[in-house]
């Protein structure tokens, strides 16, 4: 008789156990034990510097093995080669970067290493479109605090990355710059909204890129692209908003190939004044991690359940976590998915109504929302859907989202140190699964809600979350998500380091990345 993979504790609780033994050896260990040489097994990457993360590249600069200006030209060459294949970089800032890198100190954390910034944050003197024709000539005068701190860290801004229009849907595709394709399979989506950044890191254009996360945007695209994504605690990092406020849903953080790149960017951009959080000053890589009680949201949100094939993959990660000494117990989100999304749609979509009303009021050619030429069909249908919600409905939805939902997750965290689940309950879709130029919100409402059904709660509650590339399915990457209570970002980095060492992903590249 085969040993069972788990032991039932009750009808609603499953405690995962696993066979004793170590994790499967890495490909490098296999190569070392083989008579074949590594170069015969591993193809050559596009250039010799792609094997380094951003901190590794900064160390090359600091030791004068390459200058920051020389590295900049290497990255520009990558953009010119890869971008026509995947369309990840929508705005190129080569001359600005060439000027900036000349005055960047090699004593800074990143020492001039190039970075790409998502097209949804203000950089002084640089066009910001949010993927919309409405803003194709919009140039903010000043950088927001987050960008100021990012540049202080020594990162050189080289370009912007593509997004869905105003992050209004789950596919990185807009009428201004077109669609971003998945480097693992160009017929597939990168989801959204940090799709351009995730694709750029996955293919190897840069090892580190900026993303914003308003409902899962720094986790769902990394899940599809096989890279590491982080969503920080609300208010923990420098503001990404004009005026220095903290957005209720949206945070800024890094998308990277390595955990340490994300962690060092976090350290560089964190608030140091007027904050309830302790300052994170040094890497947590070598800090011991105590055994954790991990709640495994195995099935997903009711009505938006996780694909069975994805559940099988996450079950394997549950066993891995158990082998690492953690206690993993199956739990549920005590919410009905449809009830939740009825309220979330009122809360989220009504933000588009003042925008379309303002456009119509200032353009005599437009008498109704359908007339607006600067917006995609999908966004217009979202505004039409939301325009009839009244003040009372919005007030009820706001109370539900801001007050009720956090109590649910506070209760879950009272019983668990960490929450674990799939990042996205559906497989990475064909690029055509949502076409913003022709599809309507009413037609695609369910799949949009399904895509965000596990990630959006971290934004609503403000707590941190990560997407870790630990699996694959149908020859595409597949991530796992871990969430921690508010202010426990450090705990997630500790866990991420443990998983990176145990099940490394740094040498997993799409075929496109090789010569």
372 part of a folded domain: yes
409 part of a folded domain: no
Residues 468-492 have pLDDT tens digits of 999 999 999 999 999 999 999 999 9
Same domain, 117 and 192: yes
Residues 317-367 have pLDDT tens digits of 999 999 999 999 999 999 999 999 999 999 999 999 999 999 999 999 999
Domain residue limits at 355: 351-388
Same domain, 266 and 375: no
Closest among 321, 324, 345, 373 to 480, alpha carbons compared: 321
- How many beta carbons lie within 10 A of that of residue 57, not counting itself? 28
Same domain, 46 and 121: yes
Same domain, 384 and 444: no
196 part of a folded domain: yes
pLDDT computed for residue 442 by the predictor: 96
The CATH number linked to 157 is 3.90.1300.10
In what helix (H) or strand (E) does residue 351 lie, and over which residues does it extend? none
Report percent pLDDT > 90 for the chain.
91
Q: Is the pLDDT at 13 greater than 80, yes or no?
A: no
Region 82-108: mean pLDDT is 98
Which residue spans within 195-242 are E strands per DSSP? 208-213, 228-231
Residues 229-287 have pLDDT tens digits of 999 999 999 999 999 999 999 999 999 999 999 999 999 999 998 899 999 999 999 99
Residue that is written with structure tokens 């007030």 in the block: 395
Same domain, 82 and 159: yes
In what helix (H) or strand (E) does residue 259 lie, and over which residues does it extend? helix 259-269
Same domain, 313 and 279: yes
407 part of a folded domain: no
Same domain, 371 and 305: no
Same domain, 234 and 366: no
Q: Is the pLDDT at 446 greater than 90, yes or no?
A: yes
Please give the tally of structural domains in the chain: 2
pLDDT, averaged across the chain: 93
Same domain, 326 and 380: no
Q: Is the pLDDT at 414 greater than 70, yes or no?
A: yes
Closest among 448, 512, 458, 467 to 488, alpha carbons compared: 458
Report percent pLDDT > 70 for the chain.
92
Same domain, 106 and 200: yes
Q: Is the pLDDT at 3 greater than 70, yes or no?
A: no
449 part of a folded domain: yes
Q: What is the pairing mode between strands 418-422 and 156-161? A: unpaired
- Where does the pLDDT of residue 70 fall: very low under 50, low under 70, confident under 90, or very high at 90 and above? very high
Query: Which residues, including other chains, have CB under 8 Å from residue 391's CB and lie 6 or more apart?
Result: none
pLDDT computed for residue 41 by the predictor: 56
Same domain, 284 and 362: no
pTM for the whole structure: 0.93
341 part of a folded domain: no
411 part of a folded domain: no
396 part of a folded domain: no
As a whole number of angstroms, the distance between CA 25 and CA 502 comes to 9
Same domain, 25 and 60: yes
């Amino acid at each position: 008789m085969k040993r069972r993979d788990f032991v039932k504790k009750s009808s609603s609780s499953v405690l995962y156990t696993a066979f004793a033994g170590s994790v499967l050896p890495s490909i490098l260990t296999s190569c070392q034990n083989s008579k074949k040489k590594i170069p015969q097994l591993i193809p050559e990457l596009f250039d010799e510097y792609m094997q380094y993360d951003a901190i590794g590249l900064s160390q090359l600069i600091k030791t004068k093995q390459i200058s920051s200006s020389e590295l900049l030209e290497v990255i520009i060459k990558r953009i010119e080669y890869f971008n026509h294949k995947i369309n990840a970089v929508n705005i190129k800032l080569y001359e600005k970067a060439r000027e900036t890198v000349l005055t960047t100190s090699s004593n800074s954390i990143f020492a001039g290493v190039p970075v790409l910034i998502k097209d949804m944050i203000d950089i002084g003197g640089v066009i910001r479109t949010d993927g919309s024709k409405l803003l194709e000539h919009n140039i903010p005068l000043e950088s927001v605090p987050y960008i100021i701190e990012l540049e202080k860290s020594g990162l050189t801004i080289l370009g912007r990355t593509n997004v869905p229009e105003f992050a209004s849907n789950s596919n990185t595709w807009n009428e201004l710059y077109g669609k971003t394709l998945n480097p693992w399979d160009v017929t597939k989506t990168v989801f959204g909204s940090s799709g351009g950044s995730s694709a750029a890191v996955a293919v190897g254009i840069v090892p580190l890129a900026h993303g914003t996360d308003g409902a899962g945007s720094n986790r769902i695209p990394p899940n599809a692209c096989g890279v590491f994504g982080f969503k920080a605690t609300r208010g923990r990092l420098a503001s990404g908003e004009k005026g220095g406020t903290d957005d209720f849903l949206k945070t800024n953080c890094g998308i990277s190939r390595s955990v340490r790149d994300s962690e060092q960017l976090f350290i560089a951009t964190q608030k140091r004044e007027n904050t309830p959080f302790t300052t994170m000053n040094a890497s947590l890589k070598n800090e011991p991690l105590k055994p954790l009680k991990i709640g495994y949201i195995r099935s997903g949100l009711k009505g938006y359940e996780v694909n069975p094939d994805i559940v099988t993959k996450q079950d394997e990660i549950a066993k891995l976590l158990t082998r690492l000494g953690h206690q993993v117990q199956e739990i549920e989100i005590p919410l009905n998915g449809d009830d939740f999304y009825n309220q979330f749609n009122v809360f989220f979509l009504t933000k588009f109504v003042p925008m379309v009303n303002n456009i119509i009021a200032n353009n005599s050619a437009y008498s109704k929302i359908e007339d607006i030429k600067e917006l995609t069909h999908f966004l217009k249908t979202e505004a039409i859907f939301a325009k009839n919600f009244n003040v009372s409905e919005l007030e009820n939805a706001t109370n539900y989202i801001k007050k009720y939902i956090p109590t649910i997750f506070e209760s879950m965290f009272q019983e668990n140190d960490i929450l674990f689940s799939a990042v996205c309950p559906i497989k990475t879709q064909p690029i055509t699964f949502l076409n913003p130029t022709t599809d309507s919100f009413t037609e695609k409402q369910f799949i949009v809600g399904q895509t965000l059904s596990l990630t959006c709660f971290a934004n609503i509650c403000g707590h941190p979350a990560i997407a870790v590339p630990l699996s694959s399915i149908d020859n595409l990457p597949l991530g796992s998500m871990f969430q921690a209570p508010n202010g426990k970002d450090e705990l997630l980095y500790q866990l991420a380091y443990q998983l990176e060492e145990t099940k490394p992903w740094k040498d997993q590249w799409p075929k496109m990345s090789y010569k």
